[in-house]
Structure 1
């Protein structure tokens, strides 16, 4: 049985619309022109969901429109990923689950809503590829993932630490999710790292607090000096085969590559560097991921949305490859048992 068939127990996943028959600019803008979740019986190996929420931002709003901007940009994605030598939508059933509707006026309620919706989707056996939205949503997503896997490893791609305590006395904002996650015991503190951080801080105490929580730091300057292969190797060693969650704030990229975001910082990674680091994590056990902080109102010629769509595509490919490998291993084990 081929790995494609093994991934779905003998049936082929339903893939994207054929762009040789339907122009890319026509039809509904699901992620990568994939089927909706209800079109595949409400079950998928990877569910792509949007969270149109930006009430947790501390500077420029607009990320509530990020998910749909990423979907529009993803019309240009194609079904074969040569960088990973994989056809992700043939290896696993990937479907667009639409948006999680959250209260824009009550952050606490919004966090609860995202967690409940993620619980429901993960309960079907799916992994989540979430399109934000601001970074506040990472906390409820991590809560839900940890219910299934226990404390998870985290790779956090961002210009900022997002481990601050409060803003204006508020505990749940886009700058606090990972401090809350450490406090709640839902992260594996032996396997945490920021990637792409840079720029001024409130004080050296920010770094001291961050280190006490267990985070390693790979700055954007580290990526430039050491190169993507060395960085990816370091991250793989830190993570091992632990269940891994990857959270990508698009402002990890330099504003030249991602102008459409709420809190841009000079000196960031290129989109090529980000994609290559992600591709270098193919051996990791990626259980879910998010791409957040895309604010299309500040995006020139969809530069940010295109980068975000390709980032989500690489993450989806990583998950699809892992799923296919696990299902193929189960089929092989079942056959070996039957022979005995």
Structure 2
């Protein structure tokens, strides 16, 4: 099924979504997949919960001085994935990203687990080539070669990117958890900035702002005191305010794709995690039309 048709079973769409794929410059896709989660499952419910709570925030953004109704974006609903079939699911995710990119639209994917980012970024890399910069916000390095013998795991999401793109094009921020081997790997092959986000990003942004940038945002980069609705919470993270300020550093840059992952509603007291995700998505949509 083409993304143009949307998902007829979807009960709620993200606030201010248009009804037309063709007229939209941004296409949102939900990916309800948590097949490789290593601790607590539940992120498959993330996309729909983020949509549901989006009505609880304003369409106007004080940070952007812009209203979401001024933007042309289309929420195509959730992908229909074969439950438990990781390889086929990754294939379908990649096909969806390719459709969006071939139509010269901005891909915005909502997870689901972090592994869903890999086929999307692969298709974005196929389009933009070796100039593409990937910026990862995350508590975890995600640089394991595999997890329990499985190379396709949310614990290996960024390592799988290095299978097809230069590791030095990957910038990792907020990392505060991983194996010793992962941190040693990062020293050699990626650009890793541990624990903090805003300060190191503010130093790096001028060196990457003119290149095509893909942002992959694992919500667990934020401390669980602010966002407890995630499958692998890691104490010692940044505040929700620092994350918002960090995202706003990308205003005026050449963002060509975005995903937000690992929101897990079963653990999300007061929907605070989903609300933060919705607010970030709102502002990213606005940024794409201010480039």
TM-score normalised to the size of structure 2? 0.91
Q: In the TM superposition, what whole-angstrom CA distance separates every residue of 1:183-211 from its partner, at most 9, and x where no partner exists?
A: 212xx544421111114x332x2211122
Q: 2:38 aligned to 36, 58, 66, which one?
A: 58
| Correspondence 1:114 to 2:93 | yes
| Correspondence 1:277 to 2:246 | yes
Residue in 1 that maps onto 2:215:
246
| Correspondence 1:137 to 2:137 | no
> How far apart in 2 are the matches of 1:251 and 1:316?
21
SS at structure 2 position matched to 1:31: coil
| Correspondence 1:32 to 2:15 | yes
Residue in 2 that maps onto 1:68:
48
Cα 1:321–1:88 shift into 2, 3 Å = farther
Q: 1:209 aligned to 176, 185, 195, which one?
A: 185
Q: 1:194 aligned to 157, 165, 172, which one?
A: 172
Unpaired stretches in structure 2, ≥5 consecutive residues: 1-9
Residue in 2 that maps onto 1:257:
226
1:308-323 matches, cutoff 5 A: 308-322=277-291
SS at structure 2 position matched to 1:321: coil
> How far apart in 2 are the matches of 1:202 and 1:190?
20
Q: In the TM superposition, what whole-angstrom CA distance separates every residue of 1:233-287 from its partner, at most 9, and x where no partner exists?
A: 2231342311100001110011111111010000111110000011011122100
Stretches of 4+ aligned residues off by more than 3 angstroms:
188-191
Q: In the TM superposition, what whole-angstrom CA distance separates every residue of 1:12-69 from its partner, at most 9, and x where no partner exists?
A: xxxxxxxxxxxxxxx952112422xxx2254420011100000021110000000001
**Contact persistence 2:21–2:27 (CA under 8 A):** no
Aligned alpha-carbon RMSD (Å): 1.8
Residue in 2 that maps onto 1:162:
142
Q: In the TM superposition, what whole-angstrom CA distance separates every residue of 1:142-170 from its partner, at most 9, and x where no partner exists?
A: 01111221132011011001111001211
| Correspondence 1:179 to 2:159 | yes
**Contact persistence 1:153–1:189 (CA under 8 A):** no
Q: 1:303 aligned to 241, 248, 272, which one?
A: 272
SS at structure 2 position matched to 1:183: coil
| Correspondence 1:290 to 2:259 | yes
Larger radius of gyration: 1
SS at structure 2 position matched to 1:131: strand
SS at structure 2 position matched to 1:287: strand
Q: Following TM superposition, by how much is the alpha carbon of 1:288 offset from its aligned partner in structure 2, in angstroms?
A: 0.7
TM-score normalised to the size of structure 1? 0.78
Instruction: Name which of structure 1's ranges 152-161 and 142-151 shifts more when overlaid on structure 2.
Output: 142-151
Q: Following TM superposition, by how much is the alpha carbon of 1:111 offset from its aligned partner in structure 2, in angstroms?
A: 0.7
**Contact persistence 1:43–1:126 (CA under 8 A):** no
